[in-house]
């Protein structure tokens, strides 16, 4: 892959990773119902594969706040 | 081979995998076939994948190498199944869609285009063109009251958003007109964040890449205050059908 940025310098490497991250985490063929991605030993879950990155604990709090039942992620 | 199966790409059955190409954690790659399709996989110990740069880049390297060797569909990062049988079952369940996608986009590439507002130039424009909204309510000390200030700020924000909507629509129309001859399919997001004017992905033949880039260069000359980012060629991540369960 290559990146062309108007007026870019050292930022292009970071931009490459962001562009890559955006594509390969949010796009591509979906073969399974759920993915588990972890950051810093905290499991991250996806909702409907629309990739909502959040910790399992935080998502539990959000669900409780929204009055939703807890759905176990593939932690 | 033991452990879970990490899946990188879907290819035609029988497509060779270069021996020197390795998967995550340097694991060897193999193919799991179902009828005319095969999934390129490697073994992995855990289903929880860290999105570390080394893993992201290795996933991408495997997908890109398979795309360069022939038709391939990129699989989403972090796709792990329990064993080769589960992989074959997944291929079987989605066989017709995968086969059709492989024919439609497997030998194409994706180009990304991100256009950002230049916030400094935009703020200068806004200040220069900002009208006096209405005679300000003044307090006893001659300064606008809190209510007036609040409503003026709301109105200024509303006008800024309306202006951006108009500019984004105009820009998008220009892009569509100028780029459609260089592309097969397009996917657009408009104004998804405050700084983002347009985010687009284009499906193109590999031989169209240069013409696309030249066309973008010509358009960007007409919008000197915007920041442009062209990326790719990527595997056709955005144009696969099975993007949701």
> Which residues 3-62 of A are in CB contact (within 8 Å) with B?
3-8, 15-17, 19-21, 23-33, 35-39, 43, 48-50
Q: How far apart are CA B190 and CA B165, in angstroms?
A: 9
Give me the percent of chain B exceeding a pLDDT of 70: 86
Backbone torsions φ then ψ of B170, nearest 5 degrees: -65, -45
pLDDT of residue B195: 75
Q: Do A37 and B50 touch (CB under 8 A)?
A: yes
Computed over every residue of chain B, the mean pLDDT equals 85
Average pLDDT over residues B59-87: 92
pLDDT band for position B23 (cuts 50, 70, 90): very high
Evaluate whether A59 touches A22 at the Cβ level (below 8 Å).
no
Nearest to B56 among A24, A39, A43 (CB): A24
Q: What radius of gyration, in Å, describes the C-alpha atoms of chain A?
A: 16
Least confident among A24-33, B92-101, B178-187, B234-243: A24-33
Evaluate whether B24 touches B55 at the Cβ level (below 8 Å).
yes
Tens digits of residue pLDDT in A20-67: 877 888 788 888 765 555 555 544 444 333 333 443 444 444 445 444
Using the predicted structure, report yes or no on whether residue B187 has a pLDDT greater than 80. yes
Q: How far apart are CA B36 and CA B12, in angstroms?
A: 6
| SS3 call for A45 | strand
Using the predicted structure, report yes or no on whether residue B239 has a pLDDT greater than 70. yes
Q: How far apart are CA B16 and CA B4, in angstroms?
A: 22
Q: What is the DSSP letter of B26?
A: G
Minimal Cα distance from B39: which residue of A? Answer: A31
pLDDT of residue B225: 86
Q: What angle do CA B157, A15, A35 make, to 5 degrees?
A: 95
Q: What angle do CA A51, A52, A56 make, to 5 degrees?
A: 120
Tens digits of residue pLDDT in B111-157: 999 888 876 655 555 455 454 444 445 555 567 788 888 888 888 88
For residue B216, give the nearest of B180, B181, B179 by alpha carbon. Answer: B179
Q: In sequence order, what are the residues at sequence separation of 6 or more whose Cβ sits closer than 8 angstroms to the Cβ of residue B192? A: B199
pLDDT of residue B51: 78
- Quick one: B210 exposed, middle or buried, by C-beta within 10 A (0-12, 13-18, 19+)? exposed
- State the nearest Cα–Cα gap between B220 and chain A, in angstroms: 9
Using the predicted structure, report yes or no on whether residue B162 has a pLDDT greater than 70. yes
ipTM: 0.73
pLDDT of residue B71: 94
């Amino acid at each position: 892959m290559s990146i062309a940025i108007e007026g870019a310098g050292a930022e292009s490497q970071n931009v490459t990773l962001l562009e890559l991250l955006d594509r390969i985490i949010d796009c591509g063929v979906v073969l399974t119902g759920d993915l588990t991605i972890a950051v810093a030993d905290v499991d991250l879950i996806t909702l409907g594969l629309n990739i909502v990155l959040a910790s399992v604990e935080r998502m539990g709090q959000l669900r409780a706040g929204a009055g939703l039942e807890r759905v176990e992620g593939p932690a | 081979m033991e452990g879970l199966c990490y899946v990188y790409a879907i290819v035609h059955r029988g497509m060779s995998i270069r021996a020197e190409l390795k998967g995550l954690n340097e694991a060897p790659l193999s193919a799991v076939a179902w009828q005319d399709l095969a999934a390129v996989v490697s073994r992995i110990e855990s289903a929880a994948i860290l999105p570390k740069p080394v893993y992201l880049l290795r996933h991408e390297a495997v997908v890109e190498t398979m795309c360069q060797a022939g038709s391939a569909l990129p699989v989403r990062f972090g796709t792990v199944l329990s064993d080769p049988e589960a992989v074959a079952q997944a291929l079987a369940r989605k066989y017709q869609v995968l086969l059709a996608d492989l024919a439609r986009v497997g030998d194409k590439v994706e180009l990304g285009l991100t256009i950002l507002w230049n916030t400094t130039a935009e703020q200068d424009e806004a200040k220069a063109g900002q009208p006096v909204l209405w005679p300000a309510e003044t307090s006893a000390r001659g300064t606008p009251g809190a209510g007036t200030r609040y409503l003026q700020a709301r109105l200024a924000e509303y006008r800024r958003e309306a202006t951006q909507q108009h500019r984004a629509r105009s820009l998008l129309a220009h892009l569509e007109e100028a780029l459609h001859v260089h592309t097969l399919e397009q996917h657009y997001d408009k104004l998804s964040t405050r700084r983002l004017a347009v985010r687009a992905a284009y499906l193109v033949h590999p031989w169209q890449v240069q013409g696309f880039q030249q066309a973008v260069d010509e358009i960007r000359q007409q919008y000197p205050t915007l920041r442009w980012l062209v990326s790719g060629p990527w595997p056709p991540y955005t144009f696969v059908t099975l993007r949701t369960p």
